[in-house]
Amino acid sequence: MRQGFALPPQSGKTILVLRPSVRVAEQSTGGMAEPRAEWTDQARRHIDAALVELQRQLGNRVIAAPEAYGEDARLVAEHQALFAAVSRAVIEYQFFVGNRLPTKKRDNKAGQFDWSLGPDVAKLPGADQADYALFLYTDDQYGSTGRKMLQIVGLVAGVGVSSGVHAGYAGLVDLKTGDLLWLNADFQMGGDVREADGAMKRVRQLLEDFPGSTIAKEAAAPAATAQAKP
Amino acid sequence: MIARMRLAVGVLALAAGVSAQAEPPLPPPYAGAYQPQGVDEQGFWQKMDEEERRLAQSDMVIRDPALVGYVRNILCATVGEDRCGAVRPYILRVPIFNANMAPNGTMQVFTGLLLRVHSEAELGAVLGHEFGHFEARHTLERFRAARSSTDILAWAGVLGSLAPSYDVVRAYRNLEITLISSLYSFNRDHEREADRLGIAYLNNSNLRPQAAAQVWERLIEEYQADALSKGLKKPRLDRVPFYATHPPQVERATTLALLARPEAATRDDGAARYRAALAPWLPQLLDDQIKLNDFGASEYIIQSLAESGWTAPLWHARGELYRLRGAPRDLVQAAQFYGEAIALDPAHPEAHRGLGLALLKTGQAAAGQKALLRYLELKPDAADAKLIGMMIPKEVPAP
């Protein structure tokens, strides 16, 4: 989380949610991702609903970004790509202390979290009605029956076979300055996004460190969790 | 002598084998608003729909309605009005020879392809090939083939490690190589099928089907010219390497030439119309190609475009190509090429700019500055006007 930034609970801020990137696939026996349209549609619906509900509990208002056309749509696409690039850099260079960029080393020792998308975010459609923008990304692959069978036989044979991929990240951006305020990434997430309850669990995990959050942490956090620790 | 005879027999056998292939029947067109069937196809279509949302807003897409409309018209003229409605073409500013088509009807046409084909019939041949992949649902079949192969390999790997003896490891390796080889050969067969469908569309259109083979013949010459200028061995474009995704270019050219309907050879290939439609974009496409720093290929492309007559943009592009390589002899030749461009079009600003820069570098300061001055007169609001101005001492007072 960016230092000096605080979002007190129940502060009634408005959060603009850009179209979340949601992909749900089945993992074939050999490990290929088989895209599944129905699961993806369900996940998108459930995640949207869970987001509104959880932010309501936090005292924030969520608005979905309006459908954009022409120049506006290109601006949105550009910023979503930029957010993806910046988040990858944060995950790669900020979350893993031994991997800091030379230009950010000194700052980071003092617990800096200094990343920005630039002030052009203020021009995003819908930005004038909101304080912050929330970007959300999830990528899921559920192991097929064949993959699970392979995993069981692999256990006997002494070969490690992983089943399923469940990655996600979420980030909050200040719509006035473009500064990245908070980012959470996790490559082994819980919650089955294909169902309403699972999607709620997933979004709760994504938002568990959300500024001003009163969401209780999951009892057993996954071992491989990588979060922004200032 | 014996080798030559064997070669002759081989060519005959090839010819006989190919001519025995009949023109394939065209698949039924996608009816109305086709909806994907089954989980795999639905999954792919939705994934590609999401990709297309992103592609449509990409900065790589060229949004000139005239050019996009023209490419779409060529596709429709090739595959027929009843088929082309299912396709949404996007022109991407990518200076390589390629086009592709996604299962949901998104077609990507790279500018490098537009630069390399010379007529409507040639472009139609490539677009028809891509459309063939789409109508025959090749992406889906490839995905399924790859899935079954990796499934088999995964099981073989896990079961094989139950008895890790030398023989088992060797058998696993063999299986792996066999499966990889069969996947690539499956891929190449799809390309062959798409080639046959593409030429069948062209045979049934009003365009000249013989153009399809020309595309590949010219590409072969370009690869050879490129290898020659780099001092490399002549590439073997008639063999199938293990990891080849496409059949060799020589095979494709031969097959397409044999499958083109002979009586259609007198049809119009629309070369003049194509040149006229592409003219506004040609300078940028040439510029992108030159910046690939691929001297032999760029020189070949310029020369082959000049077969229908040298124009100012072509001379200018050739000047740029030589000036950017920048050896002293190149600069002398570049100045000459810019001169040719100016002779054809005295108001071509960039030709004066290139001429000035080339002359300055060869030590002809006065003549060079005069040419640069002319550039600034012709294009006073050029992005590099200040930079060029600094090379003309009298123009800009010392700061």
What domains sit in chain B, N to C, each tagged with a CATH number?
Answer: 40-266 (no CATH), 280-389 (1.25.40.10)
Q: Could you report the per-residue pLDDT of A11-37, keeping only the tens digit for each?
A: 678 888 888 888 888 888 888 888 888
Preferred mutation among B35, B147, B148, B152 to probe A, highest tally of A CBs within 10 A: B147
Contact B252, B126 (CB under 8 A): no
Considering only CA atoms, which of A124, A115, A141, A116 is closest in space to residue A22? A141
Contact B150, A29 (CB under 8 A): yes
Using a pLDDT cut of 70, give the percent of chain B over it. 90
CB contact under 8 A, B43 and A156: no
Q: Would you state the pLDDT for residue A143?
A: 85
**Beta-carbon pairs below 8 A across chains A and B:** 73
Of B45, B149, B161, the CB nearest to A157: B161
Burial of B31 (0-12, 13-18, 19+ CB in 10 A): exposed
**Half-sphere CA count of B95, side-chain side, radius 13 A:** 17
> What is the pTM assigned to this prediction?
0.82
Is the pLDDT higher at B150 or at A222?
Answer: B150
Instruction: Give the gap in angstroms from C-alpha B28 to the nearest C-alpha of chain A.
Output: 26
Over residues A138-152, mean pLDDT: 85
Considering only CA atoms, which of B311, B157, B98 is closest in space to residue A31? B157
Over residues A175-182, mean pLDDT: 87
| Strand-pair category, A21-27 with A226-227 | unpaired
Residues in chain B where the model's pLDDT stays below 70: 1-25, 27-33, 394-399
CA distance A108 to A86: 16
Q: Could you report the per-residue pLDDT of B22-53, keeping only the tens digit for each?
A: 566 676 666 666 788 888 888 888 889 988 98
Residue B90 touches partner A, C-beta closer than 8 Å: no
Q: Would you state the pLDDT for residue B10?
A: 40
Of A28, A36, A159, the CB nearest to B150: A28
Preferred mutation among A19, A28, A140 to probe B, highest tally of B CBs within 10 A: A28
- Name all contacts of A218-221 with Cβ < 8 Å and 24+ positions apart: A218/A190
Preferred mutation among A21, A29, A150 to probe B, highest tally of B CBs within 10 A: A29
Q: Please state the domain extents for chain A.
A: 14-227
The CB density around residue B391, as the number of other CB atoms within 10 Å, is 16
Q: Which residues of B touch A154 (CB under 8 A)?
A: 158
